[in-house]
Chain A
Amino acid sequence: MTIRGESKIPTLKAAALVNPAETPTPGTLREGPRRVFIAGARRRVAVQLIERLLAAPEVDLVLGVDRGPCPPALLGCDPERFLFASADLSRRRQVDNLFLLDRLRERPLDTVVHLAFQGNPRGYGVESHEFNVNSARHLLDASLRHGISKYIFLSSDAVYKIGPRTDYKVREDGDLNLDHDVHPILRDTIDAEFMCRAKMDRPDCEIIVLRPSGVFGGGVLSGINLLFESTPPVLPVGFDPMINPTSKERLARDLILAIFLHGKGVYNLAGLTAGPLSKFLEERGITAIRVPGPALGVVNRMQRMLGMTRYHAGFHPKRLYYSLVLDDSRFDKIFRTNADKVPALARTPDIA
C-alpha cells in the first residue's frame, strides 16, 4: 500500500457507541465536519464527487483510494485536505491500515463511499469476482470496526429484473435479477447489497445502498453511456424501452446529499426526465442501426472485436428490449427536499 502524504501507522481506536434511542431523523443534517473515505477514486463520478467535496469548507478531509495512481484531475488538490492512497481493497490488512493513518488519529473518518466495484464486463474473470466480493466485505467490516457512522455503497439499476411485466416505475422493492444465467457481475453486486442489508440495523452506522439509473457523461462506464458512445449503437428491431437516466453531475450531487444528511436504506436514483430510448438518441443526433433481436448478440460481439463499441449486450440482455424507469420518490422525499440544509450544495451550482 502506498500513501501520498503519510509516513506513520497509528494504533486502533475503539468504535463509538450510539444510544439506539437517539436515532436521528432521516433528512436532517449530520453535525460537524465531514471526513470522507472514497473507494474507487479514479472513477469519473468519484472525481466529480471529490472536487465538489473539496469545494465545501464543511469537509475536513477526503481520502481517495484506488489501485492505480492518483487521477490527473486531482493532482492539484490541497494536500492538507486531500489524501490519495493506492491500495488493494481486496486485502483486509491494506483496508484496515487505511483507517489507521496518522492524520486520522485525532479526527477519524466518519463516512465511507464505496465506488470501487468492478462493473466492467470486459476482462471480467475470477480476479475481478474476488476483488468485488472481498473489497465489499473488507470495506464494510473495517468501516464498522473503526466507528464509521455512514457507509454508502453505489450499486446499479441492473440488479432489477426486467421483462414484459416490468412496472412503469420500478421501486426499491422491485424484483431482483436472480435468474440462473445472470451475468456474474450482477450476482456480485447483489451479493454486496445483501452484505450491506445484513448490517443495516446497526444503530451506530447508517448504511445506505444507492441504485442509480444509467449514467450519462463523458467516459462514464455505465451501460447506457457506452451504448450511446458506440459507432453506431445497435438496437433490436421493434423495441423502444423507456428509460430515465441520470448524469454524473446529478449523481455526484445525490451522493453529497447522502453524505451530509442522515438516512439509511436502499434508494433508487434517477434523472429528471423519462422517455423512450429512441428520443434520447434523437436528441443527441445519434442514429442507431436496428437488427433482428436474435442477431443482436452476434453483431455486438463483432462490434466489440472491431473496437466500435464498449457496450456489452450480454451484460443485461433484456435492457434494450424492455423499459426500466426507476422510481426515486423515496430519495426525493428524504434527501432532495432537504438539500437546502446542505451548505456544500448551496455554494455550488444546482445541477438538474
Chain B
Amino acid sequence: MLLHKRKVDFVRPLLPPREWERIEAYAVSDAGYGTDPFGTDPDALGLSYAVGYWLHRHYFRVVSQGHENFPQHGGAVIVGNHSGVLPFDAVMLAVDIFRYTDPPRLLRFMVDYFVYQVPFLGVLFRSLGQMPGTRRNFDGLVEEGHFVGIFPEGAEALGKPAEKRYELYPFSHGHVELAARHRAPVVPFGLVGAEEQMTMLTDLRPLARALRLPYFPVTTRFPWLGPFGLLPKPVRYFIHYGEPIHIDPEALHSVEIRSREVERVRDAVADLIHVGLQTRREYRGSRV
C-alpha cells in the first residue's frame, strides 16, 4: 500500500476523546474499497486531522468566528484570501470548519493540478478529499452536498511579496459561475496571520518554470536553512466567516452581472480581512 496503513492510535494523544468521536462520526460514502468516489480515505483523514488539530490549537492558535454562516445541509462554496508561501491557511481552514461544524463537514479544496504530478503529494491530497480544480470535480462535489473551497486569487497569491500583504489579487470568475449554476451559496472568509508566517522576499520564476511550480519562493529563511526554512512561524490565525452570498443566476447569462458578483464576493472577503486585522489589533492590545 502506498500510504502505509499506520495505526491511527499512535496519534491519539494529539486529540481529545470527543474529537475522535467526531472523526468516527464523519461518514464517508464507501465506493467499495474504503474510500469515497473522490478517493477520500477515512484513515488518512483521521491521522491528518489529529496532526492538524494540534497545529490548529497549539501552533497557530486559531481564533475564528462566524461558523453559524455555514449551511447545515447541502453544498456551499467557501471563498477567501490565500497567502503564506505554503498552504497552511488551507489546512487550518479545513481543520477549523471540521472542528466547529456539527455534524463535522470536510472542506474540499480545488487544488492546482501541479500537486498531482508530485509523487506522494497527489495521493495524500486526494486521500484527504482535495481534488484537482476541474469543473466536473466541482460539479460532483457540490452535487453530493460537500463544501468546496476555492482561492480565487490562485496559487500565485501564495507567493505574495511582503509589501503586498493583505492586498487581494484579482479574483477569477469560476467560483461565481459554478455557484450560480448549482445555486450554491458562497460563504466568504477573511484569514489574517498567514501573511506573516513566512516573509517572501522574491520569487525565482525561471527556477519555478523549470520545476513546473507556480512559484519558487525566497524567504528570510528559505533556502538558507534548507527544507527547515519552509516551516512557518507560529503566528496566530484569525479567521472570520461572513454571511452567505447568493449569486444572481443571471451571472450565467451576462458577463457584466458575473463581474459584478465577483466584485461583491471580493469586497466581502476584503471586509472580513479588515475585521480580522481589527480583531488582531484588539487581541494584541488586550494581551499587553
Contact = CB atoms under 8 A, between A and B. Distances in A.
Nearest to B41: A276
Most chain-A Cβ atoms within 10 A of its Cβ — which of B31, B33, B34, B122?
A: B33
Contacts of A275: 31-35
B34 A279 contact: yes
A182 interface: no
Contacts of B31: 244, 273-275
B148 to A, nearest CB: 12
Contacts of A165: 113, 116, 132, 134
A118 to B, nearest CB: 32
Interface residues of A, number: 30
B1 A169 contact: no
Contacts of B113: 163-165
A273 B39 CA distance: 12
B111 to A, nearest CB: 10
A323 interface: yes
Contacts of A166: 132, 134
B136 to A, nearest CB: 4
Interface in A265-282: 272-276, 278-280, 282
B119 interface: yes
A237 B41 CA distance: 19
Contact of A168 (B33, B121, B122, B131): B131
B87 interface: no
Contacts of B115: 164
A123 interface: no
Interface in B3-17: 3
Contacts, number: 85
B137 A278 contact: no
A167 interface: yes
Contacts of B116: 164-165, 322
B35 A168 contact: no
A283 interface: yes
Q: Per DSSP, are chain A's interface residues mostly helix, strand or loop, or mixed?
A: loop
Given A164-B122, A165-B132, A167-B136, A242 B32 contact: no
Interface string B124-168: 001000011010110010000000000000000000000000000
A280 B158 CA distance: 37
Contact of A171 (B39, B126, B136): B136
A33 B116 CA distance: 51
A239 B1 CA distance: 10
A325 interface: yes
B286 interface: no
Interface string A280-307: 1011000000100100000000000000
Contacts of A164: 113-117, 122, 132
B120 A273 contact: no
A102 interface: no
B145 to A, nearest CB: 15
Contacts of A274: 31-33, 35, 37
A240 interface: yes
28 contacts: A163-B113, A164-B113, A164-B114, A164-B115, A165-B113, A165-B132, A167-B137, A167-B140, A168-B131, A168-B136, A169-B37, A238-B120, A239-B123, A240-B3, A242-B39, A242-B126, A244-B31, A272-B32, A273-B31, A273-B32, A273-B33, A274-B31, A274-B37, A276-B35, A279-B1, A279-B33, A279-B34, A282-B1
For the complex of A and B, list the 8 residue pairs with the smallest distance between their C-beta atoms, beginning with the closest.
A238-B119, A273-B32, A275-B33, A164-B116, A167-B136, A279-B33, A240-B2, A274-B31
Interface of A: 163-169, 171, 236-240, 242, 244, 272-276, 278-280, 282-283, 290, 293, 322-323, 325
Given A238-B119, A293-B119, 17 more contacts: A163-B113, A165-B116, A168-B37, A169-B37, A171-B136, A236-B119, A238-B118, A239-B123, A240-B1, A240-B2, A240-B123, A242-B35, A242-B39, A276-B2, A276-B41, A322-B116, A323-B126
